[in-house]
Amino acid sequence: MNEPRRLSRREFLQLAGGGILVCVGCAALPGLSQNRWPRYPEDVDAYLLIGADGRVSVFSGKIEMGQGVMTSLAQMAAEELGVDLQSIDMVLGDTDRCPWDMGTFGSMTTRMFGPALRAAAAEARVVLSGLAAARLGVAPERLSVRHGVVSVTDAPSRQVSYAELARGQRLLRRVDAAAVLKAAADFEVMGRAATRLDARAKVTGEAKFAGDIRLAGQLYARMLRPPVHRAQLRSLDTSAAEAMAGVTVIRRDDLVAVMHADPQRSSEALAALRAEWDLPQEAAPDHESIFEHLAQSGAALTESAHRGDVVAARPRAARVFESTYRKGYVAHAPIEPHAALAGFSAGRVTVWASTQTPFPTRERIARALGLAPDAVRVIAPFLGGGFGGKSADRQAVEAARLAQLCGRPVQVAWDRSEEFLYDRFDPAAVVTIVSGVDGERRVAFWDFTGYGAGERGAAHVYDIPELRIRCGGGMSYEPTPAPQRLHPFEVGPWRAPGANMNVFAIESQMDLMAAACGSDPLEFRLRHLSDARMRAVLQAAAAGFGWKAAAAPSGRGCGIACSSDAGSYVAACAEVAVDKTKGTVHVARVVCAEDLGIVVNPEGARMQIEGGVTMGLGYALSEELHFRGGDIRDRNFGSYHLPRFSSVPRIEAILVRNDGIAPQGGGEPPITIVGAVIANAVFDATGARQLRLPMTAERVLAAIATAQRPGGA
Partner 1 sequence: MPGPIRFTLNGRPVSVEAHPERLLLWTLRGELALTGTKYGCGVGICGACTVLVDRRAMRSCLTTLADVERREVVTIEGLARGERLHPLQQAFVEHGALQCGYCTPGMILTAQALLLETPHPSREAIAAAMEHQLCRCGAHQRILAAIESVAAPAAPTHE
Backbone angles phi, psi at 229, to 5 degrees: -60, 145
- Options 16, 21, 65, 673; binder of partner 1; rule CB under 8 A: 65
Residue 336 or 426: which CB sits closer to partner 1?
A: 336
Build a one-symbol-per-residue string for 460-499: x at contacts with partner 1 by CB under 8 A, - elsewhere: ----------------------------------------
- Options 176, 262, 278, 579; binder of partner 1; rule CB under 8 A: 262
8 A C-beta contact, residue 458 and residue 356: no
Residue 236 or 648: which CB sits closer to partner 1?
A: 648
Give the footprint of partner 1 on residues 263-322 (CB under 8 A): 263-264
Residue 211 or 687: which CB sits closer to partner 1?
A: 211
Cβ of residue 650: shortest distance to partner 1, in angstroms? 7
Count, in order, helices (H) and strands (E) of the chain: 18, 29
8 A C-beta contact, residue 505 and residue 672: no
380 binds partner 1 (CB under 8 A): no
Strand 232-237 relative to strand 301-307: parallel, antiparallel, unpaired? unpaired
Cβ of residue 464: shortest distance to partner 1, in angstroms? 33
413 binds partner 1 (CB under 8 A): yes
Residue 157 or 264: which CB sits closer to partner 1?
A: 264
Rounded alpha-carbon distances, angstroms, from residue 149 to 58, 83, 336, 631: 19, 8, 42, 62
Give the footprint of partner 1 on residues 336-355 (CB under 8 A): 336-337
643 binds partner 1 (CB under 8 A): yes
8 A C-beta contact, residue 20 and residue 171: yes
- Options 212, 374, 523, 531; binder of partner 1; rule CB under 8 A: 212
- Cα–Cα distance between 92 and 357 in angstroms, integer? 11
- Options 433, 578, 607, 654; binder of partner 1; rule CB under 8 A: 607
Cβ of residue 167: shortest distance to partner 1, in angstroms? 29
- Cα–Cα distance between 572 and 669 in angstroms, integer? 11
Task: Break the chain down into helix, strand, coil percent, rounded to 5.
Answer: 30, 25, 40
Size of the chain in residues: 713
The stretch among 52-60, 206-214, 236-244, 425-433 that binds partner 1 (CB under 8 A) is: 206-214
216 binds partner 1 (CB under 8 A): no
Q: What is the DSSP string of 250-298?
A: EEETTEEEEEESSHHHHHHHHHT-EEEEEPP-----BTTTHHHHHHTS-
8 A C-beta contact, residue 503 and residue 673: yes
- Cα–Cα distance between 470 and 449 in angstroms, integer? 5
Residue 207 or 368: which CB sits closer to partner 1?
A: 207
Q: Which residues lie across from 377 on neighbouring strands? A: 350
Cβ of residue 302: shortest distance to partner 1, in angstroms? 33
602 binds partner 1 (CB under 8 A): no
164 binds partner 1 (CB under 8 A): no
Residue 2 or 636: which CB sits closer to partner 1?
A: 636
The stretch among 7-15, 379-387, 435-443, 499-507 that binds partner 1 (CB under 8 A) is: 379-387
245 binds partner 1 (CB under 8 A): no
Sign for the CA dihedral angle at 96, 100, 106, 112 comes to negative
Rounded alpha-carbon distances, angstroms, from residue 436 to 444, 573, 622, 669: 6, 25, 32, 28
8 A C-beta contact, residue 638 and residue 617: no
# residues near partner 1 by CB under 8 A: 58
217 binds partner 1 (CB under 8 A): no
- Cα–Cα distance between 670 and 666 in angstroms, integer? 8
Rounded alpha-carbon distances, angstroms, from residue 277 to 228, 271, 683: 9, 15, 48
407 binds partner 1 (CB under 8 A): no
Cβ of residue 24: shortest distance to partner 1, in angstroms? 29
214 binds partner 1 (CB under 8 A): yes
Cβ of residue 334: shortest distance to partner 1, in angstroms? 6
- Cα–Cα distance between 637 and 649 in angstroms, integer? 21
192 binds partner 1 (CB under 8 A): no
638 binds partner 1 (CB under 8 A): yes
Residues found near partner 1 in the complex (CB under 8 A) = 65-68, 195-196, 198-209, 211-212, 214, 262-264, 333-337, 382-387, 413, 415-416, 603-604, 607, 610-615, 636-638, 642-646, 648, 650-651
